[in-house]
Amino acid sequence: MKKWLWVLLGIMIFMGIGGFFQQPAIVPIVNNTPVVPSSSPIKPQTANHTLLADGDQLFAHLQRLNFRRYSQEERSRTRTYITNELRKFGWQPQLEEFPEGVNIFTQKLGTDKKAGAILVAAHYDTVPTSPGADDNATGVAVVLEIARLFKSFPTAKTLQLAFFDQEEIGLLGSKAFVSQPAHLKNLYGAIIMDMLGYACYTSGCQKYPAGLPVTPPSEKGDFLVVVGDIENSDLLTAFVNSSENLPKILKLPVPLKGLLTPDTLRSDHAPFWYQGVGAVLVTDTGNLRNPHYHQPTDVPQNIHRKFFTGAAQIIINATSDLLK
């Protein structure tokens, strides 16, 4: 997740499909603050959304996962934490081994067997140099929050959850996942999360590649990016701006499964595209704004609570809509 986001935006405009991009409302500037209990969760996006992200729960996961998750021992420790949390919430996780690692998978059946399934997933491994709070404990925390909220929430579609191993060395976990035909059967679409918790609110803190042919949406890193294949635009449509309390959203529809923009294929959504399955990547743009990317300083103290909780709420709302 490097300069490709903005290169892609320029290509989209050049190809005449800039109308897909939404210009959401401005959100207030907030500062990075220590983790403190909140009196109430974030406000729902609309009256129809009743499942609310709990910032305390989200940050508790970040603090418990505040260690490097690179070696076999470290990743095994991570799997133990994830599976224990899932069982606590009433799920029955399964470990799925592949030559280089182990994925975690679980699901809750929907009320309509013909409606298909929605997968929500994130990778749990890190590079050897970082404890990976943003990359990607934030994604893991949101999947666990969805597990907590949706276990007793009836949905028409089946809700599937996955935690991928070995993303950092070549998307190996997600490639292993999609290689199993049973996982793709009746799969309506996938929401993949990779870095959700860093925002910057000073002018110029959001970086862009040189020669960008369009005006950037903001000089601040105060928005969430959702990348999706244009052939499955309904997944992108589920991500909406309807509250000034939530981060802005920039939607990037990719044509031809990324054939013209190969740098858009660098996270766990790509193997689903290869198999013809719709998928979106939700991200804070990574090292285009986060100076702690792949560094020892990628720790919970450098995650922005309001932005992260708002990003989680946006994903919860989209998941709820897609499961109908």
Overall average pLDDT of the 170-186 stretch:
97
Say what the pLDDT of residue 259 is: 64
Overall average pLDDT of the 318-324 stretch:
97
Residue type, 110: G
* 48 has a pLDDT exceeding 60: no
Nearest CA-CA partner of 18 in 9, 28, 5, 26: 9
Would you call 60 exposed, middle or buried from its count of C-beta atoms within 10 A (0-12, 13-18, 19+)? middle
Say what the pLDDT of residue 27 is: 29
- Could you write out the three-class secondary structure of the chain? CCCHHHHHHHHHHHCCCHHHCCCCCCCCCCCCCCCCCCCCCCCCCCCCCCCCCCHHHHHHHHHHCCCCCCCHHHHHHHHHHHHHHHHHCCCCCEEEEECCEEEEEEEECCCCCCCCEEEEEEECCCCCCCCCHHHHHHHHHHHHHHHHHHCCCCCCCEEEEEEECCCCCCCHHHHHHHCCHHHHCCEEEEEEECCCCCCECCCCCCCCCCCCCCCCCCCCECEEEEEEEHHHHHHHHCCCCCCCCCCEEEEEEEHHHHCCCHHHHCCCCHHHHHCCCCEEEEECCHHHCCCCCCCCCCCHHHCCHHHHHHHHHHHHHHHHHHCC
Q: For residue 96, give every residue at least 6 positions away whose Cβ sits within 8 Å of its Cβ, in sequence order, or none.
A: 102, 103, 104, 105, 176, 177, 180
pLDDT in tens, 261-298: 776 778 999 999 999 999 999 999 998 999 999 999 99
Say what the pLDDT of residue 246 is: 95
Q: How many CB atoms lie within 10 A of CB 287?
A: 18
Domain ranges of the chain: 4-17+41-322
pLDDT in tens, 129-146: 999 999 999 999 999 999
**How far apart (Å, rounded) are the C-alpha atoms in residues 11 and 227?**
14
pLDDT in tens, 54-63: 999 999 999 9
Overall average pLDDT of the 100-125 stretch:
98
Say what the pLDDT of residue 38 is: 40
Q: Look up the CATH architecture of domain 4-17+41-322.
A: 3-Layer(aba) Sandwich (3.40)
Confidence band of 154 (pLDDT split at 50, 70, 90): very high
* 173 has a pLDDT exceeding 70: yes
Query: Average per-residue pLDDT in the chain?
Result: 85
Say what the pLDDT of residue 244 is: 85
Judge whether 216 and 6 are in contact, CB under 8 Å.
yes
Considering the chain, what percentage of its residues have pLDDT values greater than 70?
A: 81
Considering the chain, what percentage of its residues have pLDDT values greater than 90?
A: 71
**Before 287, cis peptide (omega within 30)?**
no
Say what the pLDDT of residue 208 is: 72
Say what the pLDDT of residue 219 is: 82
**How far apart (Å, rounded) are the C-alpha atoms in residues 200 and 215?**
19
Confidence band of 243 (pLDDT split at 50, 70, 90): confident
* CA angle, 234 then 319 then 324, to 5°: 75
Write down how long the chain is: 324
Confidence band of 70 (pLDDT split at 50, 70, 90): very high
pLDDT in tens, 180-230: 999 999 999 999 999 999 999 999 899 875 554 445 677 899 999 999 998
pTM of the model: 0.85
Is 176 or 27 the better-scoring residue by pLDDT?
A: 176
Say what the pLDDT of residue 49 is: 56
Nearest CA-CA partner of 52 in 321, 322, 314, 323: 314
